[in-house]
């Protein structure tokens, strides 16, 4: 079930009413059934995969808690292997098989002829497996007690607002909240609904409108001139941000209505002044997952510079693969890792240059320039994220300044589409630039009623009049 | 409490306003009845029908056949790609064009069935065959609104029956449309428009002509090749219309077309096939992209069918083979009257002794 559909507009209030109407001790049942219904709206049979993993991880955590010595580690491995195995089978098997085949051909051997599977990737698999692994790892580390109630644990994995595209929660944040008796508090409900409306606005008004332009150019990049490729690349950066952060806002808002605080996933990432800063603001629940469970265990920055570089690159390569079984995502991860690495290595030299120029004294200008440079670097990485193949990504990257090819208008993008898209991006950038926190609702807090209602109506009216309602999926659903 | 009630009313106001606009403006006539019957009645009187947004084309065809006294000499089955075929292209004979958007084999069967129920037969049928006819994943469901005729004729042809019973899509869907923002946007566009009758006098609106063909608004008919090419490129942004997931020629659809050809040939009705070209830009993509390879396989099948059953066949998905170029298209998929006329003239020439 997509958040931007009529089905969800009916589903959400009905579930919320049932949730608050149910006795406090039985609310988990309402949410669990609702989450199952929500998940089964995609491919019903895949609920069985989810349930199987829930049973494995629930049991493993209970046993880890009781076990001593090496047995704990073995049990953790069973849990992690189950999750990774499921991911491997559904998401990476075909990728590996095709590459083994390709490699065999290149090396002059006969093709391995590994059969390809035609399974559809279960929706949200990458998200809920990571959330499950976070749970068993935390239990293993002794930072969180195993959940003894199977229903609550199942709800931790399946809680529908964040089931299919995050935020990837940690047990210490979500599980206690699911157990707590929540009260239907009007202020909180209103606050959650506002965030949901804002998320929907970003998805259907901005992201889906930018998609028209991006799709038109990326469908035929070899026909496009450099300007068209550049516009599409910049637009895609905003499209994916509005798409994913819009989804996250709806998820966080929906949970907030039910009295549950999910972790923030985006902190105005395009205001970041370095790629390192960007990764502290973008998809925070995933980047912190990689930091806690991959980067730090690999050594982080505690050892030699070489080992740190290896840990960093490994983390980003895995992060790339997490997004998709395609070399384009590996390149995307590698580029991000490389930018971070170069950023850290050149930090001292850049500081000296800034000192020499007196650039540090003009703080605001410095931040703007740094944000523009960071945005440009990140946009370059997005090219490979969006491209169908590494070759296509390379072609786009090397033709951004080319004069050859068709203009964006000749590729079927009308001027009004282009103008509206630019206005929407500029509007969002302005709103985010003047926020003092990462929460856009700050603009209406403390304002007179007429101002607040004018803002609400503006968002609703714009959504209804220029939103794109074609049931388009959220980009991150594919992961 | 009073404050909370006031807030709820205020919050609901835009949604209620949207529902009112959707219901009262009703740009697709979902909440008004009998639009299709009235359109068919006008066609039977020999009058053109100004554009009505989102009417059910299939119900118009069904209603037309239910009321027509005798069949036209030539009837044309096909999709919107053949809607520019007009009676003037068949000198000395009457013609009715039964083309409906996104036509599939079920639409052919249904319209043939509607004639069969009335005991009417034309002298000639022209099947305009699109490549998606044999794509089991073409995503077309619109024929379900005339599923009763599909079911009837499938039995007559000895095909597997048991098509899903007719659940009126319009009835089921219309209440959702009352709360649909997409429908609201359509209604807003509709509010500013002048009455379609007035527009049609100036050639500003689309007309469904008395011979079943479509006359597009002047501005659309006069599109430059550049505009058509831009549209063609836009079409390439996503999967090409109804050719998504085209993995194999659908054996069930092949059997159905075979049976329909048999039916007409046994009744001594002349059967011919036309293939309508795609815009050169779209055709080039169809040729070069692996996922669309079955388009040429479809054309190959239609040519084999024509050869084995001695059916005249004119045209091709390839614009060059059809004698059309980029100046002959409105957009990526729809050729203009000139191109359609050339193909029909060639078909006529093939049919002559």
Mean per-residue pLDDT for A316-340?
A: 92
* Each residue's pLDDT tens digit, A387-439: 989 999 999 999 988 888 777 777 767 788 889 999 999 999 999 998 888 88
Residue B175 touches chain A, beta carbons under 8 Å: no
Q: Find the residue in A nearest to B187 (Cα).
A: A465
From residue A385, alpha-carbon distances to A129, A326, A393, A414 in Å are 22, 10, 8, 25
The yes-or-no verdict on residue A174 having pLDDT over 90 is yes
Q: Which of A128, A283, A323, A399 is catalytic?
A: A323
Q: Quick one: pLDDT at residue A56?
A: 94
Phi-psi region of B268 (alpha: psi -120 to 50; beta: other; left: phi over 0): left
* Each residue's pLDDT tens digit, A337-378: 999 999 988 988 888 888 887 776 778 888 888 999 999 999
User: Band of the pLDDT at A25, cuts 50, 70, 90?
Assistant: confident
Asked if A469 and B181 come within 8 Å (Cβ–Cβ), the reply is yes
Which residues numbered 287-326 in B keep a CB inside 8 Å of some CB on A? none
Burial (CB < 10 A; 0-12, 13-18, 19+), residue A171, is: buried
Q: Which of A412, A456, A464 sits opposite B181 (nearest CB)?
A: A464
Q: Which helix (DSSP H) or strand (DSSP E) does residue B50 occupy?
A: strand B49-50
Q: How far B143 CA sits from the closest chain A CA (Å)?
A: 21
* Each residue's pLDDT tens digit, A452-471: 899 999 999 999 988 888 65
* Each residue's pLDDT tens digit, A54-107: 999 999 999 999 998 888 999 999 999 999 998 888 888 888 888 888 888 887
* Each residue's pLDDT tens digit, B151-194: 889 888 888 654 444 344 445 566 777 888 888 887 887 776 54
Asked if B234 and A470 come within 8 Å (Cβ–Cβ), the reply is no
CA dist., res. A254 & res. A244, Å (int): 15
Out of A60-69, A112-121, A141-150, B287-296, which region has the weakest mean confidence (pLDDT)?
Answer: A112-121
Contact list in B for residue A9 (CB cut-off 8 A) is 179
The yes-or-no verdict on residue A179 having pLDDT over 70 is yes
Q: Quick one: pLDDT at residue A335?
A: 95
Q: Which of B18, B176, B237 sits opposite A6 (nearest CB)?
A: B176
The CA-CA-CA angle for residues A408, A410, A412, to 5°, reads 80
The pTM for the full model equals: 0.73
CB neighbour list of residue B307: distance below 8 Å, 6 or more residues apart: none
The yes-or-no verdict on residue A305 having pLDDT over 60 is yes
Q: Quick one: pLDDT at residue B172?
A: 54
In this structure, are residues B53 and B213 in contact, taking their beta carbons and an 8 Å threshold? no
Contact list in A for residue B229 (CB cut-off 8 A) is 410
In this structure, are residues A134 and A166 in contact, taking their beta carbons and an 8 Å threshold? no
In this structure, are residues A214 and A275 in contact, taking their beta carbons and an 8 Å threshold? no
* Each residue's pLDDT tens digit, A226-283: 889 999 999 999 999 999 999 999 999 999 999 999 999 999 999 999 999 999 999 9
Residue A252 preceded by cis peptide, ω within 30: no
The yes-or-no verdict on residue A474 having pLDDT over 60 is no
Q: Find the residue in B nearest to A414 (Cα).
A: B230
Asked if B238 and A469 come within 8 Å (Cβ–Cβ), the reply is no
Query: What are all long-range contacts of B286-293, with beta carbons under 8 Å and residues at least 24 apart?
Result: B286/B240, B286/B243, B286/B317, B291/B239, B291/B243, B291/B246, B292/B240, B292/B243, B292/B246
| Main-chain dihedrals φ then ψ at residue A139, nearest 5 degrees | -65, -45
A323 is catalytic: yes
From residue B153, alpha-carbon distances to B63, B158, B159 in Å are 16, 8, 9
β partners of residue B116: none
Residue B11 touches chain A, beta carbons under 8 Å: yes
Sign for the CA dihedral angle at A402, A405, A411, A414 comes to positive
Q: Quick one: pLDDT at residue B353?
A: 46
User: Band of the pLDDT at A151, cuts 50, 70, 90?
Assistant: very high
ipTM confidence: 0.73
CA dist., res. A187 & res. A220, Å (int): 49
The low-confidence residues of chain B, meaning pLDDT below 50, are 162-170, 194, 353
């Amino acid at each position: 079930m997509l958040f931007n559909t009529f089905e969800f507009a009916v589903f959400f209030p009905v579930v919320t009413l049932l949730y608050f109407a149910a006795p406090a001790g039985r609310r988990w049942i309402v949410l669990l059934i609702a989450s199952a219904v929500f998940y089964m709206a995609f491919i019903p049979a895949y609920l069985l995969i989810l349930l199987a993993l829930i049973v494995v991880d629930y049991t493993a955590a209970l046993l880890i808690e009781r076990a001593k010595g090496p047995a704990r580690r073995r049990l953790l491995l069973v849990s992690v292997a189950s999750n990774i195995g499921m991911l491997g089978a559904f998401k990476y098997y075909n990728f590996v098989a095709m590459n083994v085949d390709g490699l065999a051909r290149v090396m002059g051997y006969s093709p391995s002829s590994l059969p390809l599977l035609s399974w559809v990737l279960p929706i949200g698999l990458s998200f809920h497996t990571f959330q499950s692994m976070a749970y068993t790892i935390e239990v293993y580390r002794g930072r969180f007690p195993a959940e003894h109630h199977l229903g609550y644990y199942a709800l931790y994995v399946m809680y529908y607002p964040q089931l299919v595209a995050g935020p990837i929660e940690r047990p210490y944040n979500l599980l206690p909240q699911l157990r707590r008796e929540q009260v239907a508090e009007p202020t909180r409900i209103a606050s959650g609904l506002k965030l949901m409306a804002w998320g929907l606005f970003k998805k259907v008004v901005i992201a889906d409108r930018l998609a028209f332009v991006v799709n038109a150019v990326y469908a035929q990049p070899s026909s496009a001139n450099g300007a068209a490729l550049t516009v599409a690349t910049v637009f895609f950066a905003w499209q994916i941000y509005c798409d994913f952060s819009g989804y996250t806002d709806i998820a966080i808002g929906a949970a907030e209505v039910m009295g549950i605080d999910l972790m923030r996933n985006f902190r105005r990432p395009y205001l970041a002044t370095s790629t390192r800063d960007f990764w502290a603001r973008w998809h925070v629940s995933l980047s912190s997952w990689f930091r806690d469970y991959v980067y730090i265990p690999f050594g982080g920055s505690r050892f030699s510079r070489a080992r740190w570089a290896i840990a960093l690159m490994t983390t980003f390569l895995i992060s790339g693969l997490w997004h998709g079984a395609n070399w384009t995502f590996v390149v995307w991860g590698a580029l991000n890792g490389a930018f971070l690495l170069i950023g850290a290595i050149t930090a001292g030299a850049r500081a000296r240059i800034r000192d020499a120029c007196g650039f540090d004294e003009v703080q605001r200008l410095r931040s703007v320039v740094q944000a523009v440079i960071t945005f440009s670097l990140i946009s370059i990485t997005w090219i490979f994220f969006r491209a169908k193949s590494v070759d296509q990504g390379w072609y786009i990257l090397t033709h951004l300044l080319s004069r050859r090819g068709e203009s964006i208008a000749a590729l079927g993008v009308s001027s009004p589409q282009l103008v509206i898209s630019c206005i929407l991006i500029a509007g969002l950038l302005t709103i985010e630039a003047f926020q003092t926190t990462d929460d856009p609702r700050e603009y209406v807090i403390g304002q007179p009623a007429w101002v607040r209602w004018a803002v609400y109506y503006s968002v609703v009216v714009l959504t209804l009049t220029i939103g794109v309602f074609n049931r388009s999926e959220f980009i991150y659903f594919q992961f | 409490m009073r404050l909370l009630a006031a807030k709820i009313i205020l919050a609901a106001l835009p949604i209620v306003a949207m529902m009112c606009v959707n219901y009262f403006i009703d740009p697709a006539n979902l909440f008004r009845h009998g639009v299709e019957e009235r359109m068919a009645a006008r066609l039977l009187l020999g009058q053109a029908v100004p554009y009505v947004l989102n009417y059910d084309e299939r119900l118009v065809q069904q209603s037309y056949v239910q009321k027509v006294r005798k069949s036209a000499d030539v009837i044309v089955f096909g999709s919107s790609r053949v809607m520019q075929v007009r009676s003037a292209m068949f000198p000395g004979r009457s013609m009715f064009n039964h083309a409906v958007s996104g036509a599939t084999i079920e639409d052919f069967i249904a319209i043939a069935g509607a004639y069969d129920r009335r005991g009417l037969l034309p002298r000639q049928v022209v099947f305009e065959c699109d490549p998606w006819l044999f794509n089991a994943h073409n995503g077309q469901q619109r024929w379900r609104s005339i599923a009763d005729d599909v079911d009837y004729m499938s039995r007559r042809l000895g095909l597997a029956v048991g098509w899903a019973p007719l659940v009126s899509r319009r009835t089921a869907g219309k209440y959702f449309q009352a709360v649909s923002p997409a429908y609201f946007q359509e209604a807003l566009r509709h509010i500013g428009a002048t009455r379609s009758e007035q527009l049609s006098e100036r050639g500003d609106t689309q007309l469904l002509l008395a011979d079943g063909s479509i006359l597009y608004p002047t501005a659309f008919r006069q599109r430059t090749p550049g505009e058509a090419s831009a549209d063609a490129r836009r079409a390439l942004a996503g999967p090409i219309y109804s050719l998504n997931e085209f993995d194999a020629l659908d054996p069930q659809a092949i059997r159905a077309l075979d049976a329909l050809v048999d039916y007409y040939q046994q009744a001594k009705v002349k059967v011919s096939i036309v293939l309508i070209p795609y815009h050169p830009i779209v055709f080039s993509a169809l040729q070069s992209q692996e996922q669309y390879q079955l388009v040429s396989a479809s054309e190959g099948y239609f040519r084999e069918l024509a050869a084995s059953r001695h059916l005249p066949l004119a045209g091709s998905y390839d614009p060059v083979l059809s004698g059309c170029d980029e100046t002959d298209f409105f957009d990526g998929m729809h050729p203009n009257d000139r191109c359609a006329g050339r193909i029909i003239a060639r078909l006529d020439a093939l049919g002559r002794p």
